[in-house]
A and B are shown apart, each in its own frame.
Chain A
Amino acid sequence: MYNSTVAWISFRALFGRKRALLFVIPALVLIVLALALKGAHGTLSDWPALILGRVGVGAVVPLTALLVGTSVLGSEIDDNSVLHLLATPVPRRDVIVSKIAVAALTTTLFAAVPVLAAGLIAQGPHALAFGCFLGAVLGSIVYSCLFVLISAAMRHPVIYALAYVALWEALIGNLVGGAKYLSIEQWSLGVAHTISGNASLNAHLTITPSLVLSIIAVVLMVGYASERLSAFTVRAD
Protein backbone atom coordinates (compact mmCIF):
# COMPACT_ATOMS: atom_id res chain seq x y z
CA MET A 1 0.00 0.00 0.00
CA TYR A 2 2.88 2.37 0.70
CA ASN A 3 4.94 3.34 -2.34
CA SER A 4 8.35 4.71 -1.46
CA THR A 5 8.84 6.41 -4.85
CA VAL A 6 5.56 8.32 -4.51
CA ALA A 7 6.58 9.31 -0.98
CA TRP A 8 10.06 10.41 -2.14
CA ILE A 9 8.61 12.60 -4.90
CA SER A 10 6.09 14.04 -2.42
CA PHE A 11 8.79 14.94 0.12
CA ARG A 12 10.88 16.59 -2.60
CA ALA A 13 7.83 18.51 -3.83
CA LEU A 14 6.82 19.53 -0.31
CA PHE A 15 10.20 20.92 0.67
CA GLY A 16 11.03 22.24 -2.80
CA ARG A 17 8.40 24.97 -2.53
CA LYS A 18 8.68 28.23 -0.60
CA ARG A 19 5.41 27.32 1.08
CA ALA A 20 7.47 24.91 3.24
CA LEU A 21 8.79 27.92 5.17
CA LEU A 22 5.26 28.46 6.49
CA PHE A 23 5.33 25.08 8.25
CA VAL A 24 7.60 26.38 11.00
CA ILE A 25 5.57 29.51 11.85
CA PRO A 26 2.80 27.92 14.01
CA ALA A 27 5.44 25.87 15.85
CA LEU A 28 7.58 28.93 16.48
CA VAL A 29 4.60 30.83 17.90
CA LEU A 30 3.91 27.93 20.29
CA ILE A 31 7.53 27.71 21.48
CA VAL A 32 7.86 31.48 21.94
CA LEU A 33 4.55 31.53 23.84
CA ALA A 34 5.71 28.71 26.12
CA LEU A 35 9.01 30.49 26.83
CA ALA A 36 7.23 33.79 27.54
CA LEU A 37 4.68 32.21 29.91
CA LYS A 38 7.36 30.21 31.65
CA GLY A 39 9.29 33.45 32.22
CA ALA A 40 6.18 35.24 33.51
CA HIS A 41 4.49 32.53 35.61
CA GLY A 42 7.03 29.76 36.16
CA THR A 43 5.23 26.44 36.65
CA LEU A 44 2.45 27.97 38.70
CA SER A 45 -1.18 28.13 37.47
CA ASP A 46 -2.65 25.94 34.72
CA TRP A 47 -1.23 27.77 31.71
CA PRO A 48 0.71 24.68 30.43
CA ALA A 49 -2.53 22.74 29.91
CA LEU A 50 -4.13 25.71 28.20
CA ILE A 51 -1.38 26.38 25.70
CA LEU A 52 -0.65 22.71 25.00
CA GLY A 53 -4.34 21.88 24.62
CA ARG A 54 -5.86 25.01 23.07
CA VAL A 55 -2.87 26.38 21.17
CA GLY A 56 -0.83 23.22 20.51
CA VAL A 57 -3.41 20.50 19.85
CA GLY A 58 -6.24 22.91 19.00
CA ALA A 59 -4.46 25.30 16.62
CA VAL A 60 -0.86 24.42 15.74
CA VAL A 61 -1.66 20.82 14.75
CA PRO A 62 -4.67 21.57 12.47
CA LEU A 63 -3.03 24.61 10.87
CA THR A 64 0.21 22.77 10.13
CA ALA A 65 -1.72 19.74 8.88
CA LEU A 66 -3.76 22.05 6.66
CA LEU A 67 -0.67 23.62 5.11
CA VAL A 68 1.03 20.26 4.61
CA GLY A 69 -2.00 18.13 3.72
CA THR A 70 -3.27 20.47 1.01
CA SER A 71 0.26 20.88 -0.43
CA VAL A 72 1.11 17.23 -0.64
CA LEU A 73 -1.56 16.41 -3.25
CA GLY A 74 -3.56 19.59 -3.92
CA SER A 75 -0.63 21.54 -5.38
CA GLU A 76 0.16 18.72 -7.81
CA ILE A 77 -3.48 18.55 -8.89
CA ASP A 78 -3.60 22.34 -9.30
CA ASP A 79 -0.61 22.45 -11.66
CA ASN A 80 -1.39 19.06 -13.27
CA SER A 81 2.04 17.61 -12.47
CA VAL A 82 0.07 14.80 -10.81
CA LEU A 83 -0.50 13.47 -14.35
CA HIS A 84 3.08 12.17 -14.37
CA LEU A 85 2.31 10.18 -11.23
CA LEU A 86 -1.07 8.95 -12.41
CA ALA A 87 0.16 7.98 -15.90
CA THR A 88 1.65 4.88 -14.27
CA PRO A 89 0.07 1.62 -13.13
CA VAL A 90 0.50 2.49 -9.42
CA PRO A 91 -2.83 1.73 -7.66
CA ARG A 92 -4.51 4.99 -6.63
CA ARG A 93 -4.90 3.73 -3.05
CA ASP A 94 -1.09 3.42 -2.84
CA VAL A 95 -0.75 7.02 -4.01
CA ILE A 96 -3.18 8.21 -1.32
CA VAL A 97 -1.61 6.14 1.48
CA SER A 98 1.89 7.37 0.54
CA LYS A 99 0.74 11.00 0.38
CA ILE A 100 -0.98 10.69 3.78
CA ALA A 101 2.14 9.08 5.27
CA VAL A 102 4.27 11.99 4.07
CA ALA A 103 1.75 14.56 5.32
CA ALA A 104 1.34 12.86 8.72
CA LEU A 105 5.09 12.50 9.24
CA THR A 106 5.75 16.12 8.28
CA THR A 107 2.93 17.38 10.49
CA THR A 108 4.22 15.30 13.38
CA LEU A 109 7.66 16.83 12.87
CA PHE A 110 6.45 20.43 12.59
CA ALA A 111 3.50 20.34 15.01
CA ALA A 112 3.51 17.34 17.39
CA VAL A 113 7.23 17.55 18.22
CA PRO A 114 6.94 21.29 18.99
CA VAL A 115 3.98 20.45 21.29
CA LEU A 116 6.31 18.06 23.13
CA ALA A 117 9.03 20.73 23.21
CA ALA A 118 6.58 23.32 24.55
CA GLY A 119 5.45 20.81 27.20
CA LEU A 120 9.04 20.16 28.26
CA ILE A 121 9.69 23.90 28.44
CA ALA A 122 6.58 24.33 30.60
CA GLN A 123 6.95 21.53 33.11
CA GLY A 124 9.93 19.38 32.16
CA PRO A 125 9.38 15.62 31.56
CA HIS A 126 5.77 15.34 32.70
CA ALA A 127 2.69 13.30 31.78
CA LEU A 128 1.01 16.42 30.33
CA ALA A 129 3.79 16.92 27.75
CA PHE A 130 3.76 13.25 26.67
CA GLY A 131 -0.04 13.03 26.68
CA CYS A 132 -0.38 16.15 24.52
CA PHE A 133 2.40 14.88 22.24
CA LEU A 134 0.61 11.58 21.64
CA GLY A 135 -2.69 13.41 21.14
CA ALA A 136 -0.95 15.68 18.62
CA VAL A 137 0.50 12.66 16.80
CA LEU A 138 -3.02 11.19 16.52
CA GLY A 139 -4.29 14.59 15.30
CA SER A 140 -1.45 14.79 12.74
CA ILE A 141 -2.48 11.45 11.24
CA VAL A 142 -6.24 12.04 11.16
CA TYR A 143 -6.04 15.67 9.97
CA SER A 144 -3.63 14.56 7.21
CA CYS A 145 -6.16 11.99 6.02
CA LEU A 146 -8.88 14.62 5.99
CA PHE A 147 -6.91 17.27 4.11
CA VAL A 148 -5.54 14.80 1.54
CA LEU A 149 -9.12 13.58 1.03
CA ILE A 150 -10.33 17.18 0.54
CA SER A 151 -7.49 17.74 -1.97
CA ALA A 152 -8.47 14.63 -3.93
CA ALA A 153 -12.18 15.43 -3.90
CA MET A 154 -12.48 19.19 -4.32
CA ARG A 155 -11.11 22.15 -6.15
CA HIS A 156 -9.72 24.91 -3.90
CA PRO A 157 -9.03 22.48 -1.03
CA VAL A 158 -7.53 25.17 1.24
CA ILE A 159 -10.90 26.94 1.49
CA TYR A 160 -12.73 23.77 2.51
CA ALA A 161 -9.96 22.75 4.91
CA LEU A 162 -10.06 26.19 6.56
CA ALA A 163 -13.84 25.99 6.79
CA TYR A 164 -13.55 22.66 8.62
CA VAL A 165 -10.99 23.97 11.11
CA ALA A 166 -12.60 27.38 11.68
CA LEU A 167 -16.28 26.48 11.56
CA TRP A 168 -16.56 22.85 12.60
CA GLU A 169 -13.72 22.47 15.08
CA ALA A 170 -13.62 25.97 16.58
CA LEU A 171 -17.31 26.88 16.47
CA ILE A 172 -19.72 23.98 16.08
CA GLY A 173 -17.46 21.55 17.98
CA ASN A 174 -17.63 23.81 21.04
CA LEU A 175 -21.29 24.78 20.80
CA VAL A 176 -23.04 21.56 19.78
CA GLY A 177 -22.77 18.68 22.24
CA GLY A 178 -22.81 15.79 19.77
CA ALA A 179 -20.19 17.38 17.52
CA LYS A 180 -17.43 16.21 19.89
CA TYR A 181 -17.77 12.75 18.42
CA LEU A 182 -16.87 14.13 15.01
CA SER A 183 -14.09 16.46 16.11
CA ILE A 184 -10.48 15.49 15.45
CA GLU A 185 -9.39 18.02 18.07
CA GLN A 186 -11.56 16.27 20.67
CA TRP A 187 -10.14 12.85 19.70
CA SER A 188 -6.63 14.25 20.21
CA LEU A 189 -7.54 15.86 23.53
CA GLY A 190 -9.22 12.61 24.61
CA VAL A 191 -5.88 10.81 24.26
CA ALA A 192 -3.96 13.64 25.96
CA HIS A 193 -6.43 13.81 28.87
CA THR A 194 -6.46 10.09 29.58
CA ILE A 195 -2.65 9.88 29.59
CA SER A 196 -2.03 13.06 31.59
CA GLY A 197 -5.13 13.08 33.81
CA ASN A 198 -5.18 16.86 33.48
CA ALA A 199 -8.76 18.19 33.68
CA SER A 200 -7.77 21.63 32.38
CA LEU A 201 -7.40 20.19 28.85
CA ASN A 202 -11.17 20.56 28.42
CA ALA A 203 -11.47 17.10 26.83
CA HIS A 204 -14.97 15.70 26.31
CA LEU A 205 -13.95 12.15 25.36
CA THR A 206 -11.73 9.44 26.81
CA ILE A 207 -9.01 7.52 24.99
CA THR A 208 -11.09 4.51 23.88
CA PRO A 209 -13.80 6.31 21.88
CA SER A 210 -11.15 8.70 20.58
CA LEU A 211 -9.04 5.87 19.17
CA VAL A 212 -12.00 3.87 17.84
CA LEU A 213 -13.49 6.91 16.09
CA SER A 214 -10.06 7.89 14.71
CA ILE A 215 -9.47 4.43 13.25
CA ILE A 216 -12.94 4.38 11.64
CA ALA A 217 -12.37 7.88 10.22
CA VAL A 218 -8.94 6.99 8.81
CA VAL A 219 -10.24 3.84 7.09
CA LEU A 220 -13.22 5.68 5.58
CA MET A 221 -11.18 8.68 4.45
CA VAL A 222 -8.43 6.57 2.85
CA GLY A 223 -11.08 4.54 1.01
CA TYR A 224 -13.00 7.57 -0.24
CA ALA A 225 -9.88 9.53 -1.20
CA SER A 226 -8.63 6.52 -3.22
CA GLU A 227 -11.99 6.29 -4.94
CA ARG A 228 -11.91 9.99 -5.84
CA LEU A 229 -8.36 9.80 -7.16
CA SER A 230 -9.32 6.79 -9.29
CA ALA A 231 -11.91 9.02 -10.94
CA PHE A 232 -9.45 11.89 -11.42
CA THR A 233 -10.27 13.88 -14.53
CA VAL A 234 -8.27 16.49 -16.37
CA ARG A 235 -9.99 19.85 -16.27
CA ALA A 236 -10.96 21.56 -19.48
CA ASP A 237 -8.76 24.54 -20.40
Chain B
Amino acid sequence: MTALESATAERGAPADTAVVRFDHVTHWYGNVVAVNDISLELGPGVTGLLGPNGAGKSTILHLLSGFLSPSRGSVTIDGVGPWRHPDVFRTVGLVPERDSVYAFLTAREFVTASAKLHKLPDPKAAAERALRLVEMTDAADRQIHTYSKGMRQRAKVAAALVHDPKVLLLDEPFNGMDPRQRMHMMDLLRGLGANGRTILFSSHILEEVEKLADTVQVVVAGRLAASGDYRTIRRLMTNRPHVFLLRSTDDRALAGVLIGRDAVQGVELTKNGLEVHASDHGTFTRELAKVSRAAGIGLREVVPSDESLESVFAYLVGS
Protein backbone atom coordinates (compact mmCIF):
# COMPACT_ATOMS: atom_id res chain seq x y z
CA MET B 1 0.00 0.00 0.00
CA THR B 2 1.45 3.39 -0.96
CA ALA B 3 1.56 6.37 1.32
CA LEU B 4 -1.21 7.92 -0.70
CA GLU B 5 -3.42 4.88 -0.47
CA SER B 6 -2.84 4.32 3.22
CA ALA B 7 -3.57 7.93 4.05
CA THR B 8 -6.60 8.06 1.85
CA ALA B 9 -7.93 4.85 3.37
CA GLU B 10 -8.22 6.55 6.76
CA ARG B 11 -9.86 9.63 5.39
CA GLY B 12 -13.53 10.32 6.03
CA ALA B 13 -15.57 10.10 2.83
CA PRO B 14 -16.73 13.62 2.08
CA ALA B 15 -18.50 12.71 -1.15
CA ASP B 16 -21.99 13.64 0.04
CA THR B 17 -20.97 16.94 1.55
CA ALA B 18 -18.30 17.85 -1.00
CA VAL B 19 -18.49 21.46 -2.13
CA VAL B 20 -15.27 21.56 -4.13
CA ARG B 21 -14.45 18.85 -6.64
CA PHE B 22 -11.39 18.23 -8.81
CA ASP B 23 -11.94 15.41 -11.26
CA HIS B 24 -8.71 14.23 -12.94
CA VAL B 25 -7.53 17.80 -13.41
CA THR B 26 -4.38 18.54 -15.36
CA HIS B 27 -3.02 21.98 -16.17
CA TRP B 28 -0.10 22.84 -18.43
CA TYR B 29 1.79 26.11 -18.71
CA GLY B 30 3.17 25.62 -22.21
CA ASN B 31 5.24 22.45 -21.97
CA VAL B 32 5.33 22.44 -18.17
CA VAL B 33 2.80 20.33 -16.30
CA ALA B 34 1.85 22.37 -13.23
CA VAL B 35 -0.95 20.09 -12.01
CA ASN B 36 -1.02 16.46 -13.04
CA ASP B 37 -4.22 14.38 -12.93
CA ILE B 38 -5.43 15.52 -9.53
CA SER B 39 -8.76 14.34 -8.15
CA LEU B 40 -10.00 15.53 -4.79
CA GLU B 41 -13.16 16.48 -2.96
CA LEU B 42 -13.45 19.00 -0.16
CA GLY B 43 -16.31 19.56 2.21
CA PRO B 44 -16.92 21.94 5.12
CA GLY B 45 -13.98 22.39 7.49
CA VAL B 46 -10.40 23.54 7.13
CA THR B 47 -8.17 21.82 4.59
CA GLY B 48 -4.48 22.54 4.21
CA LEU B 49 -2.86 22.40 0.80
CA LEU B 50 0.67 21.46 1.67
CA GLY B 51 3.67 21.28 -0.61
CA PRO B 52 7.06 22.75 -1.36
CA ASN B 53 7.36 25.97 -3.36
CA GLY B 54 6.53 25.39 -7.01
CA ALA B 55 4.58 22.21 -6.28
CA GLY B 56 1.37 23.49 -7.90
CA LYS B 57 -0.53 24.82 -4.87
CA SER B 58 -1.23 28.26 -6.37
CA THR B 59 -2.23 26.67 -9.67
CA ILE B 60 -4.83 24.57 -7.82
CA LEU B 61 -6.22 27.67 -6.08
CA HIS B 62 -6.30 29.62 -9.37
CA LEU B 63 -8.11 26.74 -11.07
CA LEU B 64 -10.65 26.84 -8.24
CA SER B 65 -11.15 30.59 -8.52
CA GLY B 66 -11.56 30.52 -12.32
CA PHE B 67 -8.32 32.33 -13.11
CA LEU B 68 -7.03 29.28 -14.96
CA SER B 69 -8.89 26.72 -17.01
CA PRO B 70 -8.13 23.03 -16.64
CA SER B 71 -6.26 21.65 -19.65
CA ARG B 72 -7.96 18.34 -18.88
CA GLY B 73 -10.56 17.21 -16.32
CA SER B 74 -13.12 19.35 -14.52
CA VAL B 75 -13.24 21.67 -11.52
CA THR B 76 -16.51 22.54 -9.82
CA ILE B 77 -17.62 24.54 -6.81
CA ASP B 78 -21.19 23.71 -5.77
CA GLY B 79 -21.60 22.04 -9.13
CA VAL B 80 -20.52 25.09 -11.15
CA GLY B 81 -17.28 25.33 -13.13
CA PRO B 82 -15.57 28.58 -12.07
CA TRP B 83 -13.82 29.23 -15.41
CA ARG B 84 -15.63 32.15 -17.13
CA HIS B 85 -18.28 32.19 -14.37
CA PRO B 86 -17.65 35.22 -12.17
CA ASP B 87 -20.96 34.49 -10.43
CA VAL B 88 -19.06 31.78 -8.54
CA PHE B 89 -17.66 34.61 -6.38
CA ARG B 90 -21.07 34.98 -4.75
CA THR B 91 -20.10 31.87 -2.78
CA VAL B 92 -16.28 32.06 -2.99
CA GLY B 93 -13.80 34.40 -1.34
CA LEU B 94 -10.21 34.53 -2.60
CA VAL B 95 -7.09 35.78 -0.82
CA PRO B 96 -4.32 35.83 -3.44
CA GLU B 97 -0.72 35.27 -2.38
CA ARG B 98 0.86 38.22 -4.14
CA ASP B 99 1.16 41.37 -2.17
CA SER B 100 -0.40 43.48 -4.91
CA VAL B 101 -3.35 45.32 -3.50
CA TYR B 102 -4.89 48.76 -4.02
CA ALA B 103 -2.28 50.35 -1.76
CA PHE B 104 -3.59 53.89 -2.30
CA LEU B 105 -6.88 53.02 -0.54
CA THR B 106 -7.40 52.72 3.19
CA ALA B 107 -8.38 49.26 4.44
CA ARG B 108 -11.88 50.58 5.16
CA GLU B 109 -12.23 51.92 1.59
CA PHE B 110 -10.82 48.68 0.17
CA VAL B 111 -13.16 46.41 2.10
CA THR B 112 -16.18 48.69 1.53
CA ALA B 113 -15.42 48.71 -2.21
CA SER B 114 -15.32 44.92 -2.12
CA ALA B 115 -18.73 44.89 -0.38
CA LYS B 116 -20.14 47.22 -3.06
CA LEU B 117 -18.74 45.07 -5.85
CA HIS B 118 -20.62 42.14 -4.29
CA LYS B 119 -23.74 44.36 -4.26
CA LEU B 120 -24.34 43.76 -0.55
CA PRO B 121 -27.41 45.57 0.84
CA ASP B 122 -25.41 47.46 3.51
CA PRO B 123 -21.79 47.63 2.32
CA LYS B 124 -20.57 49.79 5.22
CA ALA B 125 -21.94 47.45 7.87
CA ALA B 126 -20.53 44.41 6.04
CA ALA B 127 -17.12 46.09 5.81
CA GLU B 128 -17.10 46.93 9.52
CA ARG B 129 -18.01 43.34 10.38
CA ALA B 130 -15.18 41.99 8.19
CA LEU B 131 -12.66 44.49 9.61
CA ARG B 132 -13.64 43.48 13.15
CA LEU B 133 -13.19 39.81 12.27
CA VAL B 134 -9.55 40.41 11.28
CA GLU B 135 -8.94 42.94 14.10
CA MET B 136 -8.24 45.80 11.71
CA THR B 137 -10.76 48.35 12.97
CA ASP B 138 -8.20 50.63 14.63
CA ALA B 139 -5.87 50.86 11.63
CA ALA B 140 -8.64 50.82 9.02
CA ASP B 141 -8.33 54.49 8.08
CA ARG B 142 -4.66 54.30 7.16
CA GLN B 143 -3.65 53.81 3.54
CA ILE B 144 -2.67 50.22 2.84
CA HIS B 145 0.82 51.17 1.62
CA THR B 146 1.66 52.17 5.20
CA TYR B 147 0.87 48.66 6.50
CA SER B 148 3.21 45.83 7.38
CA LYS B 149 2.93 42.71 5.23
CA GLY B 150 0.87 40.98 7.92
CA MET B 151 -1.59 43.87 8.06
CA ARG B 152 -1.94 43.82 4.28
CA GLN B 153 -2.72 40.13 4.49
CA ARG B 154 -5.44 40.83 7.03
CA ALA B 155 -6.92 43.59 4.85
CA LYS B 156 -7.03 41.11 1.95
CA VAL B 157 -8.71 38.51 4.16
CA ALA B 158 -11.30 41.08 5.30
CA ALA B 159 -12.10 41.94 1.67
CA ALA B 160 -12.46 38.23 0.84
CA LEU B 161 -14.73 37.64 3.85
CA VAL B 162 -16.95 40.67 3.40
CA HIS B 163 -19.76 38.74 1.68
CA ASP B 164 -19.55 35.83 4.15
CA PRO B 165 -18.57 33.28 1.49
CA LYS B 166 -19.36 29.59 1.74
CA VAL B 167 -15.92 28.73 0.33
CA LEU B 168 -12.75 30.62 1.25
CA LEU B 169 -9.53 30.09 -0.71
CA LEU B 170 -6.31 31.46 0.78
CA ASP B 171 -2.88 31.32 -0.87
CA GLU B 172 -0.13 31.31 1.78
CA PRO B 173 -2.25 33.46 4.13
CA PHE B 174 0.21 33.52 7.03
CA ASN B 175 3.09 35.04 5.07
CA GLY B 176 4.44 38.06 6.90
CA MET B 177 2.21 37.72 9.94
CA ASP B 178 3.71 37.92 13.41
CA PRO B 179 2.94 35.05 15.86
CA ARG B 180 0.02 36.85 17.50
CA GLN B 181 -1.58 37.76 14.16
CA ARG B 182 -0.97 34.20 12.96
CA MET B 183 -2.68 32.74 16.00
CA HIS B 184 -5.64 35.07 15.62
CA MET B 185 -5.98 34.26 11.93
CA MET B 186 -5.84 30.55 12.71
CA ASP B 187 -8.61 30.94 15.32
CA LEU B 188 -10.69 32.87 12.81
CA LEU B 189 -10.29 30.26 10.06
CA ARG B 190 -10.87 27.40 12.51
CA GLY B 191 -14.10 29.09 13.64
CA LEU B 192 -15.27 29.60 10.05
CA GLY B 193 -14.55 25.93 9.32
CA ALA B 194 -16.45 24.82 12.42
CA ASN B 195 -19.41 26.94 11.25
CA GLY B 196 -19.71 24.94 8.05
CA ARG B 197 -17.54 27.01 5.70
CA THR B 198 -15.19 25.20 3.33
CA ILE B 199 -11.74 26.66 3.88
CA LEU B 200 -8.76 25.72 1.70
CA PHE B 201 -5.41 27.33 2.43
CA SER B 202 -2.01 26.66 0.94
CA SER B 203 1.22 26.53 2.88
CA HIS B 204 4.72 25.16 2.56
CA ILE B 205 5.15 25.14 6.34
CA LEU B 206 4.26 21.86 8.01
CA GLU B 207 3.62 23.40 11.43
CA GLU B 208 1.01 25.84 10.09
CA VAL B 209 -0.95 23.02 8.54
CA GLU B 210 -0.54 20.87 11.64
CA LYS B 211 -2.04 23.56 13.88
CA LEU B 212 -4.98 24.46 11.70
CA ALA B 213 -6.10 21.85 9.20
CA ASP B 214 -8.52 19.00 9.81
CA THR B 215 -7.41 17.36 6.59
CA VAL B 216 -4.49 17.93 4.27
CA GLN B 217 -3.81 17.55 0.59
CA VAL B 218 -0.09 17.10 0.00
CA VAL B 219 1.04 18.22 -3.45
CA VAL B 220 4.46 17.44 -4.85
CA ALA B 221 5.59 18.28 -8.39
CA GLY B 222 1.99 18.81 -9.49
CA ARG B 223 0.73 15.47 -8.19
CA LEU B 224 -1.34 14.65 -5.13
CA ALA B 225 1.16 12.83 -2.95
CA ALA B 226 -1.09 12.21 0.04
CA SER B 227 -4.59 13.16 1.00
CA GLY B 228 -6.66 12.90 4.13
CA ASP B 229 -6.26 13.00 7.90
CA TYR B 230 -3.27 15.04 9.02
CA ARG B 231 -2.13 12.67 11.82
CA THR B 232 -1.89 9.72 9.43
CA ILE B 233 0.24 11.67 7.02
CA ARG B 234 2.39 13.06 9.81
CA ARG B 235 3.03 9.52 11.05
CA LEU B 236 4.09 8.49 7.57
CA MET B 237 6.45 11.44 7.48
CA THR B 238 8.10 10.86 10.85
CA ASN B 239 8.41 7.09 10.40
CA ARG B 240 10.35 7.38 7.17
CA PRO B 241 14.09 6.50 7.06
CA HIS B 242 16.35 9.45 7.87
CA VAL B 243 19.85 10.08 6.61
CA PHE B 244 22.47 11.68 8.86
CA LEU B 245 26.00 12.76 8.02
CA LEU B 246 28.40 12.27 10.98
CA ARG B 247 32.01 13.27 11.60
CA SER B 248 33.77 11.90 14.64
CA THR B 249 37.22 11.24 16.08
CA ASP B 250 37.08 7.68 14.65
CA ASP B 251 34.46 7.25 11.89
CA ARG B 252 35.36 3.58 11.18
CA ALA B 253 34.95 2.57 14.84
CA LEU B 254 31.70 4.56 15.10
CA ALA B 255 30.37 2.73 12.02
CA GLY B 256 31.04 -0.59 13.72
CA VAL B 257 29.19 0.48 16.84
CA LEU B 258 26.19 1.97 15.04
CA ILE B 259 25.54 -0.91 12.65
CA GLY B 260 24.67 -3.07 15.65
CA ARG B 261 21.81 -0.78 16.76
CA ASP B 262 18.19 -1.59 15.84
CA ALA B 263 17.43 2.02 14.88
CA VAL B 264 20.14 1.97 12.18
CA GLN B 265 19.44 0.43 8.77
CA GLY B 266 22.80 1.03 7.16
CA VAL B 267 26.14 2.82 7.49
CA GLU B 268 28.47 4.03 4.76
CA LEU B 269 31.98 5.39 5.12
CA THR B 270 32.52 8.34 2.80
CA LYS B 271 35.45 10.68 2.35
CA ASN B 272 33.50 13.36 4.23
CA GLY B 273 32.60 11.12 7.17
CA LEU B 274 29.89 8.64 7.93
CA GLU B 275 26.48 8.41 6.24
CA VAL B 276 23.95 6.73 8.50
CA HIS B 277 20.47 5.58 7.43
CA ALA B 278 18.29 5.54 10.54
CA SER B 279 14.97 3.70 10.49
CA ASP B 280 13.70 5.40 13.65
CA HIS B 281 14.53 9.10 13.92
CA GLY B 282 13.67 9.47 17.62
CA THR B 283 15.51 6.38 18.90
CA PHE B 284 18.61 7.08 16.80
CA THR B 285 19.00 10.70 17.92
CA ARG B 286 18.48 9.67 21.57
CA GLU B 287 21.01 6.80 21.38
CA LEU B 288 23.75 8.39 19.25
CA ALA B 289 25.47 10.49 21.92
CA LYS B 290 25.18 7.74 24.53
CA VAL B 291 26.60 5.00 22.28
CA SER B 292 29.51 7.06 20.96
CA ARG B 293 30.46 8.23 24.48
CA ALA B 294 30.44 4.60 25.69
CA ALA B 295 32.77 3.65 22.81
CA GLY B 296 35.11 6.53 23.62
CA ILE B 297 34.44 8.26 20.28
CA GLY B 298 34.00 12.00 20.12
CA LEU B 299 31.26 13.40 17.83
CA ARG B 300 32.36 16.44 15.83
CA GLU B 301 29.37 16.95 13.58
CA VAL B 302 25.84 15.53 13.21
CA VAL B 303 23.89 16.81 10.22
CA PRO B 304 20.49 15.49 9.14
CA SER B 305 20.86 15.44 5.36
CA ASP B 306 17.27 15.03 4.22
CA GLU B 307 15.23 17.23 6.51
CA SER B 308 13.90 19.53 3.79
CA LEU B 309 10.20 19.41 3.11
CA GLU B 310 10.98 18.37 -0.45
CA SER B 311 12.70 15.22 0.77
CA VAL B 312 9.78 14.41 3.06
CA PHE B 313 7.39 14.80 0.17
CA ALA B 314 9.67 12.86 -2.14
CA TYR B 315 9.52 10.01 0.35
CA LEU B 316 5.72 10.15 0.40
CA VAL B 317 5.58 10.02 -3.38
CA GLY B 318 8.15 7.26 -3.64
CA SER B 319 6.88 4.96 -0.90
Chain A nearest CB from B114 CB (Å) reads 7
Given A230-B84, A234-B67, check contact A9 B113 (CB 8 Å). yes
Using C-beta atoms within 8 Å of the partner chain, give the interface range for chain B.
35 or more
Are A81 and B68 closer than 8 Å at their CB atoms?
no
Chain B nearest CB from A226 CB (Å) reads 11
Are A87 and B116 closer than 8 Å at their CB atoms?
no
Given A80-B96, A80-B100, A87-B160, check contact A236 B34 (CB 8 Å). yes
Which residues on A sit within 8 Å (CB–CB) of B117?
3, 5-6, 85, 88-90
Are B67 and A5 closer than 8 Å at their CB atoms?
no
Are B116 and A234 closer than 8 Å at their CB atoms?
no
Given A85-B117, A232-B67, check contact A12 B29 (CB 8 Å). no
Report A59-92 CB contacts with B as 1/0, cut-off 8 Å. 0000000000000000000011101111111111
A13 on interface, CB distance cutoff 8 Å: yes
Given A80-B96, A232-B67, A234-B68, check contact A89 B101 (CB 8 Å). no
Using C-beta atoms within 8 Å of the partner chain, give the interface range for chain A.
20 to 34
Given A81-B100, A234-B67, check contact A87 B89 (CB 8 Å). yes
Out of B68, B84, B118, name the residue touching A88 (CB < 8 Å).
B118
Given A83-B96, A88-B89, check contact A233 B102 (CB 8 Å). no
Which residues on B sit within 8 Å (CB–CB) of A88?
86, 89, 114, 117-118
Are A12 and B102 closer than 8 Å at their CB atoms?
yes
B237 on interface, CB distance cutoff 8 Å: no
Given A12-B105, A84-B159, A88-B118, check contact A233 B69 (CB 8 Å). yes
Chain A nearest CB from B121 CB (Å) reads 15
A231 CA to B96 CA in the complex, in Å? 18
B94 on interface, CB distance cutoff 8 Å: yes
A5 CA to B114 CA in the complex, in Å? 9
A16 on interface, CB distance cutoff 8 Å: yes
Closest to A235 in B: B29
Report A12-36 CB contacts with B as 1/0, cut-off 8 Å. 1100100000000000000000000
Residues of chain B from 76 to 103 with CB closer than 8 A to chain A in the complex = 84, 86-90, 92-94, 96, 98, 100-102
Closest to A12 in B: B104
Are A81 and B87 closer than 8 Å at their CB atoms?
no
Are A89 and B89 closer than 8 Å at their CB atoms?
yes
A8 on interface, CB distance cutoff 8 Å: yes
Which residues on A sit within 8 Å (CB–CB) of B88?
89
Which residues on A sit within 8 Å (CB–CB) of B36?
none
Which residues on B sit within 8 Å (CB–CB) of A233?
62, 67-69
Are A86 and B67 closer than 8 Å at their CB atoms?
yes
B65 on interface, CB distance cutoff 8 Å: yes
Residues of chain A from 28 to 52 with CB closer than 8 A to chain B in the complex = none
Chain A nearest CB from B117 CB (Å) reads 4
Are A79 and B100 closer than 8 Å at their CB atoms?
yes
A86 CA to B96 CA in the complex, in Å? 11
Which residues on A sit within 8 Å (CB–CB) of B69?
231, 233
Given A5-B117, A232-B67, check contact A13 B89 (CB 8 Å). no
Report A203-237 CB contacts with B as 1/0, cut-off 8 Å. 00000000000000000000000000011111011
Out of B34, B59, B101, B116, name the residue touching A5 (CB < 8 Å).
B116
Max count, chain B CB within 10 A of own CB: residue among A5, A6, A12, A231:
A5
Residues of chain B from 45 to 60 with CB closer than 8 A to chain A in the complex = 58-59
Which residues on B sit within 8 Å (CB–CB) of A8?
113
Closest to B91 in A: A89
Which residues on B sit within 8 Å (CB–CB) of A232?
67
Are A84 and B67 closer than 8 Å at their CB atoms?
no
Are A13 and B67 closer than 8 Å at their CB atoms?
no
Taking Cβ atoms with an 8 Å cutoff, the residues of A that contact B are 3, 5-6, 8-9, 12-13, 16, 79-81, 83-92, 230-234, 236-237
26 sampled A-B residue pairs with Cβ under 8 A: A5-B117, A9-B102, A16-B104, A80-B96, A80-B98, A80-B100, A83-B96, A83-B100, A84-B101, A84-B102, A84-B110, A84-B156, A85-B117, A86-B67, A87-B92, A88-B86, A88-B114, A89-B89, A89-B90, A90-B117, A91-B86, A230-B86, A232-B67, A233-B68, A234-B58, A236-B29
Taking Cβ atoms with an 8 Å cutoff, the residues of B that contact A are 29, 32, 34, 58-59, 62, 65, 67-69, 84, 86-90, 92-94, 96, 98, 100-102, 104-105, 110, 113-114, 116-119, 156, 159-160
Which 6 residue pairs spanning A and B have beta carbons closest together? A16-B104, A88-B117, A87-B94, A5-B116, A81-B100, A236-B29
Starting from the known contacts A85-B117, A87-B96, A89-B90, 5 additional A-B residue pairs (CB-CB under 8 Å) come to A5-B113, A87-B160, A92-B86, A233-B69, A236-B29
